[in-house]
């Protein structure tokens, strides 16, 4: 099923979904001060008067954050207006040091773009800059601020630049929602503006969901779903919420405009607080900042330095490497994977082989360990080296797998592993011929049975002999050579 | 001896230190003695930084003894309005909610003054968060006017004006959001300057209304005010609204006279409601003196100036409602513990803010609310544009404008505390300048029948500090206002 077909219509109801994606920009410093923008670190160590919102402090806009926003603008076909303005969004919350968030309102840094996902165009209303809040840890039974015994606040994250990307309500199913976020993630990673790790919170997705009878123009009442920490939980949550709303409406109930919390464990969304009458954030232009007006030359410079986007890259890999579209999808979808594969190919490995290993064996290990390709101990260079050992007959495919196992654990070079473990493949006909002779001598009955048997039992016996030989050579006997020797000797040569 | 030192101007003290006539320690001790004698009565200083000041003075004396350059303001004592952040030194903004808070950093203007050898003697009283025109909104008690201690010193920089007027320091910094430097300067008979918005860094200045706040100097002479202004102004990377273009010195124009300078007397303010007759007379006298000195003086109308007060009381509270949100009892300052976070916020703010601050937070919150924004905040911003346009038209014909600084001389303590509107009206002459982002200064030009000082305001277009100081110096020379009549008189 294609993404275009992946719309969900249940009993004549159609979902309408818009996504708000918050992305932490990986600038060197925070949005309005010189503190390092770094994930982790002991609580309250990357702080200063500005990001703590101390009395008298003033913000100074980070140029790199603006540049990253511009890059996103070019990648998502957004307009970059000549002037954009910061606004204050006023509300009280303890992890927000100034009790207002510096954000953007009616003059965002970018607006009105789109992204194509396998032929489906999802509109993007805007992508605007804002600052992140600190992080609260609520100690007590509920784990939320209500009913907590006390709360601890870490302001390291306060003032980290965020880009909020707001889609138009163009999404019609959970699968499309997932595909949209996956593509967005690939794009943002490719242009180097964010780590886009949903699990670590550097990419956070909220979904606005409503349902309406098919054919009706007007939207239904929507609920906002939060707390989805992976693509999978996004898809599950959206799917659950669509069905919940339809069930509610079909049983004569109504949908309440509210925020709902996705619970991964019970697989449901739960009402957080009613949002009857939108919150009044009393937006007004931030008087401590001047409007952002990127010069023409700056725009041109950023536009000229735009790297290849995932869609272009997929097309290029399919064409140049001769790999399948599905394989290209996987390479580009997993952050850093295509870079990894291209490094290996650049180092001399065969692209088809590289793709096979990377999307199969290596990705499997990566999924278990949670490591990104850049963190793998099997570097692109080591993969290339291993594949070369397969190509020159030093290693069988199975041995290569074993070697990569060891490299994955130790980080030693494949050649070192092969030498240390004595794993090189044995292809010498004399040496292997001796082994074959000895084996056949040990099993005279089986040899007779082979010679008199039909094709089926011959195949079975051949498998038995090969198994014994691989066992004796600890997997290092060259299977091709052994196979040939066996056949020759069994057939009475 | 002591009074002889404390009646000297900052320029004289800097000269005496430079040529060895006086040591920094002698200068500091004389001023600390005077503060000790007068502060119990005047309540101008909230925090007297005596030990640190004496240590700094000794250090500077050592620098000079070693034959090294100690800076343009070396040996000159100064006072700092208590909304300027000073590292490790209590900074309250005149509010209970910041009682005991010691900032971990210095405001840019404070570091600049210290780098040039100025010695801070402490922090000066003010209306809470700079909201007020009489200094009666301080959480730490009213400041008294040194000319008559039954009168207010004006506000919100009442402590700064009173300290300079009483000879406790020759120079002080204040902040001006709607007249908070100029009005108390007028009421206390000193010179006060509100520079062009963006000329002086606001980094480290506790905000009242960010788009209007500006730091400026108080001195007993126009020359001293220029001296201090030149020490603090200029671009600061840490304030995004700071003007990058370097300022042109003003100290050099003080003797230039006003020959050919075009001076417009603002007709709306020359006839404003509640204008004290002696102030109206002083305005005519000042205009005449400038004309006699060679200026071309005429009347000019700035029609929208009359809407300034209304626009100001929407814009300033709106910004304040947001700026003051952070005082929530979570991170610093007062904390009144409640059953949950929201209650802690509420109880802390209820206990920590005074009535005027609460009134303005409510005003501002209302003005920004959905459904009211366009009618209030939006409309006020349009008025602001009108005022800027009207001033621009006036400056096509004039180099500077002239008006009274305050419609009246110092009023009695307690006279207006129950009538906020009457209190707001005492800023009617000064507010439009802040809305326009332009500079203005107050110069003492005479006294009323009770011997209370009258200040005259000189306004200039944005970046027009030079003609403004030219006119200010000429007015000062013509008026021959005698500040010494009070010093040792009323006190
Ligand atoms: Zn910081």
Domain membership flag for residue A6:
no
For residues A229 and A173, membership in a common domain is answered with yes
For residues A190 and A324, membership in a common domain is answered with no
Angle between helices B222-232 and B10-18 (to 10 degrees): 70
In angstroms, the separation between the Cα of residue B1 and the nearest Cα of chain A is: 39
DSSP code per residue over B404-467: ESSSSSPPBTTSSTT-HHHHHHTTTTTHHHHHHT--EEEEEEEE-TTS-EEEEEEE--TT-HHH
Chain A residues with CB under 8 Å of B211 CB are 287
For residues A70 and A142, membership in a common domain is answered with yes
Cβ–Cβ below 8 Å for A55 and B342:
no
For residues A440 and A394, membership in a common domain is answered with no
Cβ–Cβ below 8 Å for B331 and A92:
no
Active-site annotation holds for B7: no
Cβ–Cβ below 8 Å for A60 and B318:
no
- pLDDT of res. A219: 94
Cα atoms in the Cβ-side hemisphere of radius 13 Å centred on B483: 27
* ipTM of the modeled complex: 0.96
Return residues 368-387 of B near A (CB < 8 Å).
368-370, 373, 377
Dihedral of CA atoms A142, A146, A151, A154 in degrees, nearest 10, equals 100
Contact B424, B309 (CB under 8 A): yes
Domain membership flag for residue A8:
no
For residues A471 and A381, membership in a common domain is answered with no
Query: What are the domain boundaries of chain B?
Result: 2-269+271-302+390-487, 306-389
CB pairs under 8 A between A and B: 99
For residues A244 and A355, membership in a common domain is answered with no
- Chain A contact for B91 (CB, 8 A cutoff): yes
Active-site annotation holds for B304: no
Which residue has tokens 């886009």? Answer: A196
CATH class of residue range B2-269+271-302+390-487: alpha beta
Q: Return the closest-CA partner of residue A32 out of B107, B244, B106, B239.
A: B239
Chain A residues with CB under 8 Å of B101 CB are 55
Q: How far is CA A49 from CA A183, B92, B140, in A?
A: 38, 16, 26
In angstroms, the separation between the Cα of residue A210 and the nearest Cα of chain B is: 25
Nearest beta carbon to residue A99 from set B91, B239, B326: B326
Chain A residues with CB under 8 Å of B214 CB are none
In angstroms, the separation between the Cα of residue A73 and the nearest Cα of chain B is: 24
Domain boundary among A373, A391, A421: A421
Chain B residues with CB under 8 Å of A58 CB are 202-203, 238-240
For residues A23 and A111, membership in a common domain is answered with yes
For residues A190 and A288, membership in a common domain is answered with yes
- Phi, psi at A223, each rounded to 5°: -115, 145
Q: Among residues B156, B242, B403, B406, which one is catalytic?
A: B156
Q: Return the closest-CA partner of residue B436 out of B311, B339, B329.
A: B311
SS3 B273: coil
pLDDT tens per residue, chain B (491 residues)?
A: 457 999 999 999 999 999 999 999 999 999 999 999 999 999 999 999 999 999 999 999 999 999 999 999 999 999 999 999 999 999 999 999 999 999 999 999 999 999 999 999 999 999 999 999 999 999 999 999 999 999 999 999 999 999 999 999 999 999 999 999 999 999 999 999 999 999 999 999 999 999 999 999 999 999 999 999 999 999 999 999 999 999 999 999 999 999 999 999 999 999 888 899 999 999 999 999 999 999 999 999 999 999 999 999 999 999 999 999 999 999 999 999 999 889 999 999 999 999 999 999 999 999 999 889 999 999 999 999 999 999 999 999 999 999 999 999 999 999 998 888 888 888 999 999 999 999 999 999 999 999 999 999 999 999 999 999 999 999 999 998 876 666 444 45
- pLDDT of res. A276: 47
> The domain containing residue A482 runs over which residues?
429-490
pTM of the model as a whole: 0.88
For residues A298 and A341, membership in a common domain is answered with no
Task: Count other C-beta atoms under 10 Å from residue B399's C-beta.
Answer: 21
Cβ–Cβ below 8 Å for A92 and B328:
yes
Domain membership flag for residue A2:
no
Q: Among residues B95, B111, B180, B242, which one is catalytic?
A: B180
For residues A150 and A269, membership in a common domain is answered with yes
Q: Is A298 exposed, middle or buried (0-12, 13-18, 19+ CB in 10 A)?
A: middle
Residues of chain A under the 70 pLDDT cut: 1, 4, 141-147, 273-278, 493
Quick: pLDDT tens for A302-327.
999 999 999 999 999 999 999 999 99
Segments in A283-428 forming alpha helices (H): 296-304, 310-321, 325-333, 337-346, 351-357, 363-369, 380-391, 397-410, 414-421
Domain membership flag for residue A290:
yes
Domain membership flag for residue A168:
yes
Domain boundary among A285, A302, A319: A302
Active-site annotation holds for B156: yes
Q: How far apart are CA A68 and CA A114, in angstroms?
A: 18
Cβ–Cβ below 8 Å for A284 and B373:
yes
Mutate to test the interface with A, among B84, B108, B322 (most CBs of A within 10 A): B322
Domain membership flag for residue A206:
yes
- pLDDT of res. A379: 94
Annotate B267-287 with b (16+ C-beta within 10 A) or e (fewer).
bbbbebeebbebbeebbebbb
Give me the number of domains chain A comprises. 3
Domain membership flag for residue A1:
no
Tokens of B217: 């100097």
Q: How far apart are CA A330 and CA A366, in angstroms?
A: 13
Chain A residues with CB under 8 Å of B377 CB are 284
Nearest beta carbon to residue A53 from set B93, B326, B369: B326
Q: How far apart are CA B173 and CA B180, in angstroms?
A: 11
Q: How far apart are CA B109 and CA B288, in angstroms?
A: 37
Quick: pLDDT tens for A68-84.
999 999 999 999 999 99
- Phi, psi at B459, each rounded to 5°: -110, 150
- pLDDT of res. A278: 60
Cβ–Cβ below 8 Å for A290 and B241:
yes
Domain boundary among A275, A302, A329: A302
For residues A33 and A112, membership in a common domain is answered with yes
Q: Is A442 exposed, middle or buried (0-12, 13-18, 19+ CB in 10 A)?
A: exposed
Q: How far apart are CA B366 and CA B320, in angstroms?
A: 12
Cβ–Cβ below 8 Å for A56 and B341:
no
For residues A335 and A284, membership in a common domain is answered with no
């Amino acid at each position: 099923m294609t993404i275009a077909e992946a719309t969900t219509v249940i009993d004549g109801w159609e979902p309408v979904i818009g996504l708000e994606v918050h992305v932490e920009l990986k600038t060197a410093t925070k949005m309005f001060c010189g503190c390092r923008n770094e994930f982790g670190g002991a609580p309250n160590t990357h702080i200063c008067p500005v990001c703590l919102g101390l009395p008298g402090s003033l913000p100074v806009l980070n140029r790199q954050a603006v540049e990253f926003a511009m890059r996103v603008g070019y990648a998502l076909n957004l307009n970059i207006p000549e002037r954009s303005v910061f606004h204050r969004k006023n509300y009280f919350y303890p992890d927000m040091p100034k009790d207002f968030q510096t954000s953007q309102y009616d003059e965002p840094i970018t607006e009105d773009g789109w992204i194509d996902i396998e032929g489906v165009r999802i509109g993007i209303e805007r992508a605007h800059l804002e600052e992140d809040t600190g992080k609260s840890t609520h100690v007590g039974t509920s784990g939320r601020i209500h009913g907590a015994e006390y709360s601890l606040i870490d302001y390291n994250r306060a003032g980290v630049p965020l880009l909020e990307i707001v889609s138009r309500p163009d999404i019609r199913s959970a699968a499309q929602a997932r595909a949209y976020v996956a593509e967005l993630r690939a794009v943002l990673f490719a242009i180097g503006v964010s780590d886009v790790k949903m699990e670590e919170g550097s990419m956070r997705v909220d979904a606005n969901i409503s349902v309406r009878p098919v054919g009706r123009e007007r939207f239904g009442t929507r609920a906002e779903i939060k707390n989805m920490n992976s693509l999978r939980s996004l898809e599950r949550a959206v799917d659950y919420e669509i069905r919940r709303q339809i069930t509610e409406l079909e049983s004569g109930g109504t949908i309440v405009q509210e925020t709902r919390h996705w619970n991964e464990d019970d697989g449901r969304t739960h009402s957080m607080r009613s949002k009857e009458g939108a919150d009044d954030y009393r937006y007004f232009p931030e008087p401590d900042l001047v409007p952002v007006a990127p010069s023409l030359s700056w725009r041109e410079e950023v536009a000229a330095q735009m790297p290849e986007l995932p869609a272009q890259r997929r097309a290029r890999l399919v064409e140049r490497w001769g790999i399948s579209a599905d394989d290209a999808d996987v390479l580009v979808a997993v952050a850093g994977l295509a870079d990894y594969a291209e490094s290996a190919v650049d180092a001399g490995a065969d692209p088809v082989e590289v793709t096979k290993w990377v999307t199969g064996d290596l990705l499997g290990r990566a999924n278990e360990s949670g490591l990104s390709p850049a963190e793998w101990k099997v570097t692109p260079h080591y993969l290339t080296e291993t594949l070369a050992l397969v190509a020159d007959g030093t290693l069988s495919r199975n041995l290569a797998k074993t070697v990569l196992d060891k490299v994955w654990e130790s980080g030693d070079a494949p050649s070192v592993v092969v030498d240390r473990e004595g794993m090189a493949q044995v292809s010498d006909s004399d040496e292997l011929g001796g082994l074959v002779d000895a084996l056949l001598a040990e099993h005279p009955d089986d040899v007779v049975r082979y010679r008199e048997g039909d094709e089926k039992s011959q195949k079975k016996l051949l498998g038995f002999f090969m198994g014994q030989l691989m066992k004796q050579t600890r997997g290092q006997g060259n299977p091709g050579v052994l196979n040939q020797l066996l056949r020759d000797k069994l057939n009475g040569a | 001896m002591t009074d002889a030192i404390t009646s000297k101007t900052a320029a004289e003290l800097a000269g005496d230190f430079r040529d060895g006539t006086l040591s920094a320690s002698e200068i500091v001790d004389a001023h600390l003695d005077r503060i000790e004698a007068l502060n119990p009565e005047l309540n101008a200083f909230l925090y007297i930084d005596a030990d640190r000041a004496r240590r700094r003075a000794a250090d500077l004396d050592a620098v000079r003894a070693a034959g090294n350059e100690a800076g343009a303001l070396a040996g000159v004592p100064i006072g700092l309005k208590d909304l300027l952040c000073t590292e490790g030194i209590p900074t309250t903004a005149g509010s209970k909610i910041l009682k005991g808070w010691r900032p971990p950093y210095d405001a840019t203007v404070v570091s600049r003054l210290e780098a040039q050898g100025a010695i801070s003697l402490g922090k000066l009283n003010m209306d809470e968060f700079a909201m007020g025109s009489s200094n009666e909104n301080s959480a730490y008690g009213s400041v008294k006017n040194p000319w008559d201690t039954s009168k207010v010193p004006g506000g919100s920089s009442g402590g700064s004006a009173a300290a300079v007027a009483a000879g406790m320091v020759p120079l002080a910094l204040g902040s001006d959001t709607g007249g908070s430097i100029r009005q108390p300067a007028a009421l206390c008979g000193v010179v006060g300057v509100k520079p062009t918005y963006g000329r002086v860094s606001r980094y480290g200045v506790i905000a009242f209304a960010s788009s209007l706040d500006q730091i400026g100097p108080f001195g007993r002479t126009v020359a001293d005010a220029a001296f201090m202004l030149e020490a603090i102004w200029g671009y600061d990377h840490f304030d995004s609204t700071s003007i990058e273009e370097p300022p042109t010195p003003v100290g050099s124009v003080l003797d230039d006279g006003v020959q050919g300078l075009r001076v417009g007397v603002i007709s709306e303010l020359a006839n404003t409601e509640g204008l004290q007759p002696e102030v109206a007379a002083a305005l005519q006298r000042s205009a005449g003196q400038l004309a006699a000195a060679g200026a071309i003086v005429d009347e000019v109308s700035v029609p929208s100036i009359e809407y300034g007060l209304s626009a100001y009381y929407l814009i300033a509270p709106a910004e304040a409602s947001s700026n003051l949100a952070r005082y929530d009892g979570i991170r610093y300052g007062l904390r009144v513990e409640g059953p949950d976070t929201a209650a802690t916020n509420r109880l802390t703010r209820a206990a920590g803010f005074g009535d005027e601050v609460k009134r303005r937070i409510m005003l501002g919150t209302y003005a920004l609310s959905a459904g009211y924004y366009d009618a209030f905040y939006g409309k006020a911003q349009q008025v602001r544009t009108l005022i800027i346009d009207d001033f621009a038209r006036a400056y096509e014909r004039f180099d500077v404008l002239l008006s009274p600084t305050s419609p009246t001389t110092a009023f009695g303590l307690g006279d207006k505390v129950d009538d906020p509107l009457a209190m707001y009206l005492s800023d009617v002459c000064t507010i439009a300048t802040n809305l326009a982002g332009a500079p203005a200064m107050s110069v003492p030009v005479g006294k009323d029948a009770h011997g209370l000082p009258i200040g005259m305001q000189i306004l200039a277009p944005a970046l027009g500090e030079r003609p403004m100081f030219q006119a200010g110096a000429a007015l000062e020379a013509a008026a021959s206002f005698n500040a010494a009549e009070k010093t040792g008189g009323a006190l």
